[in-house]
Structure formats: structure tokens, C-alpha cells
Amino acid sequence: MSITSLLPVADVGACCAPLTRETLAAADAVSLARSLKALADPTRLRLISIVAASEGQEACACDLTAPVGLSQPTVSHHLKVLTDAGFLTRTQRGNWAHFALVPGALDSVARLLTSA
């Protein structure tokens, strides 16, 4: 299952049983830890939450700096981490990048943590 460490987060959930159901293989642990690390930041959690609450679960980067109260470069950095981890997609439209929630990506992580 070591191939999962090379896949974006949305594919992780498809491969593995929940954490508490069977012992996690080393490679799967690395992959899940990487996804969790991308989420484990208050600003990034709020950015995901704001994008998710936006129309069509998509938001312009220009509308994301004010709500979190940080500079554009800092917000861009956080958005890049979330995009690289497979939680957001980025589309350029004119001068501004737009970020959309990847359907199922958060659910995949949640499914690995849940015991139900």
C-alpha cells in the first residue's frame, strides 16, 4: 500500500481501513500524517471553512485575506499548502486565483479517523 504516499489525499480514503479498525501500515501512516499536517493550522482550517461556505464552494483569493486578517502572501502560502495536499483546487481567472473545495477530500480523512 506504499503507493498511497504518492497520491493526493482524495485517494487515500479509498485505499485504507479506518485507523482503529486494523493496524495502520507504515506507508499509510506517513500519507495520513501528511494530510493531517496540512490541516493542522488554525488559518488553514478557517480558509477551508470559508471556501466551503462560499457559493459553489469556491472563493476568490481576493476575498480570503480580510476574513483571516493576514497578508496576501501569507494567505497565498496557506492556500498553496492546502492545494498541494489535495484539499483545494486552484483556477486562475484574470488577475485572481480562485480556490474550490475538492469534493470528498476532507471526508476521506474523516473516514480514516472514525470508528463507526
Decide whether 62 or 113 has the Cβ nearer to a copy of itself.
113
CB of 95 to a copy of itself, least distance (A): 25
Indicate the DSSP class of residue 59: E
Residue ranges in contact with a copy of itself by CB under 8 A = 19-24, 26, 29-30, 32-34, 36-37, 39-46, 48-50, 52-53, 57, 67, 101, 106-107, 109-111, 113-116
Strand residue runs (E) in the chain: 58-60, 88-93, 96-101
**Residue 17 or 62 with smaller CB distance to a copy of itself:** 17
CB 33 → a copy of itself: shortest distance, Å? Answer: 4
Cα separation, 20 vs 90, whole angstroms: 33
Query: Shortest Cβ distance from residue 93 to a copy of itself (Å)?
Result: 23
In the numeric block, which cell numbers belong to residue 111?
A: 473516514
The whole-angstrom separation of Cα 38 and Cα 31 is: 11
Choice between 1 and 95, CB closer to a copy of itself: 1
The residue to which cell 466551503 is assigned:
52
**Among 62, 63, 105, CA closest to 82:** 105
